[in-house]
Amino acid sequence: MTKYFLLGLLPFYFLSADPPNVIIIQTDEHNLRTLGCYREQMSDDQAFIWGKGNKVETPNIDSIARDGLICTNYFAASPVCTPSRASWVSGLYPQATGSSSNNLPLHDSIITFAEVLRKRGYATSYLGKWHLDGDAKPGWAPTRKFGFSDNRFMFNRGHWKKFEMTKEGPKVATKKNGNPVYDLSDANETSFATDWLVDRSLEVLERDKGKPFCLMLALPDPHGPNTVRAPYDTMYDHLTFQQPVSMRKVLAALQNRPGWVSGGSNAVKKLSQATLSKYFGMVRCIDDNVGKILRFLERNKLVENTILVFTSDHGDMMCEHCRMNKGLPYKTSVGIPFVLRYPAKVPAGKVIDTAYTTVDFFPTLMGLMGISEGLPKLHGLNASIAYTNKKKEIAKDRIVYVRQSNGSWVAAFDRRYKLVISSLDQPWLLDLEKDPDELSNYYGREGYEKPFQRLKTELLAQMKKFKEPALKEKKLRFE
């Protein structure tokens, strides 16, 4: 018997008897190389840039890719927290959302994928970091819910390490002079941020498992401060981390650096063993907690009909090119993990090398769910056909557009080339096949005129289409 859910007085029918559930697990500032499923897609020198054998075991996240698909070229539309998250929930480029830079709130008019599903009878919940409601910090349970009916455990900003439940609701459990702080304190397996949020998510899933649900869990790790509870805090202390190739060459002044990367508050000249080992520990803690969610779905026979996504808002350089964190067009800053499992429709073991950005998630989710009516205007591509067809490997030469939140650079990516245009330097054309460390500029070199022109033409077209603010200033150097 076909089920339906009401939008006002109008029934919306689903093609299957059971509309699919949705679970999205989003981390914050996550380096691709710390996940086994991504290392498997790389050469050894790229998979182990901090030294041979230096790795985190992530069997649970890897299993999502093994039983579903992995996208090797998925990018943040803008590699900073707020704009990337805005594009994820809205399907729009950040400049159309009100949230083009950190701490800028979403426009009231934005319709998210959660709102679409809420109106179709879904139980919609959001737990964790939101970062789309302005300056509030932590800012629990924002008044504007944007379709997430249960946002009790949503907080607006911060990378807190310990939470607790009180009579007044959830709180940050470590304080100094009455104000919440990032201290780890004596956080354990029930109070540490990752564990606590996953446990709350499991309670919500238990409550909603008898009806269609959409749950988004946004973990504040592995973003700094790089601290984690025991035993993860010492789990990788035995490793000796080496400088990545790009860091060594930059320090030795062997490479010409782009104008858009020089300086900055996140510049580093020395690799910190403790910083990297604790980062690895945070990733392992995340993976163990993902395992809790996987086991819940198995116990409740929800695996087959649940769209499960693991992703992040942006990457972390982790000493590549002598930089930490994000904000740059390099692969491990702007590139994000994206693995998806949906056994009812997505073949296992699929590898997609085609380029996508976070604006593509909303329309693709709707495509996977068979929803085509009542959608808002979306900038992204519905990639559901690529996700669900029988081909195990897909590698289209699609070009995507990515922007820096302050407009200092814009870029066009496909699965091999990257063109970065800024006001601070000549164009930079990167060839990731020949130069995966992204050290050399191929702009102006013999044999590279065609890829340059192809990316430049498409970048200009998309900038005009999506009203890129930097175009008005006319300071970008295209030649």
Q: Which runs of consecutive H residues, i.e. helices, occur in 347-473?
A: 361-369, 384-388, 449-465, 470-473
SS3 125: strand
Full-model pTM: 0.95
DSSP 224-265: SS----TTTTTTTTT------HHHHHHHTT-SPPPTTTSS-T
Residue among 182, 321, 259, 184 nearest 475 (CA): 259
Which tens digits make up the pLDDT trace of 234-265? 999 999 999 999 999 999 887 788 999 875 56
Per cent of the chain over pLDDT 90 is 90
Topology of the domain covering 20-401: Alkaline Phosphatase, subunit A (3.40.720)
Does CATH number 3.30.1120 belong to domain 402-473? yes
Token readout for 382 is 């519905």
- Could you give the CA distance from residue 319 to residue 348 in angstroms, rounded to a whole number? 34
Count of alpha carbons within 13 Å of 85, Cβ hemisphere only? 32
Residue among 475, 432, 467 nearest 32 (CA): 432
pLDDT level of residue 422 (50, 70, 90 thresholds): very high
Per cent of the chain over pLDDT 70 is 96
Pairing label, strands 356-357, 74-75: parallel
Q: Which own/partner pairs from 227-231 qualify as long-range (CB within 8 Å, at least 24 positions apart)?
A: 227/161, 227/182, 227/184, 227/278, 228/184, 228/192, 228/278, 228/281, 228/282, 228/285, 229/161, 229/184, 229/187, 229/188, 229/189, 229/192, 229/195, 229/285, 230/188
pLDDT on residue 83: 98
pLDDT on residue 270: 93
- Could you give the CA distance from residue 68 to residue 350 in angstroms, rounded to a whole number? 6
Radius of gyration of the chain (CA): 22
Per-domain residue ranges of the chain: 20-401, 402-473
pLDDT on residue 54: 96
Mean pLDDT of 466-477: 91
Q: Does the pLDDT value for residue 8 go beyond 80?
A: no
What is the average pLDDT score of the chain?
94
Which tens digits make up the pLDDT trace of 142-185? 999 999 999 999 999 999 999 999 999 999 999 999 999 999 99
What is Dmax (Cα atoms) for the chain?
68
Residue 352, strand partner residues: 71, 394
> In one letter, which amino acid is 216?
M
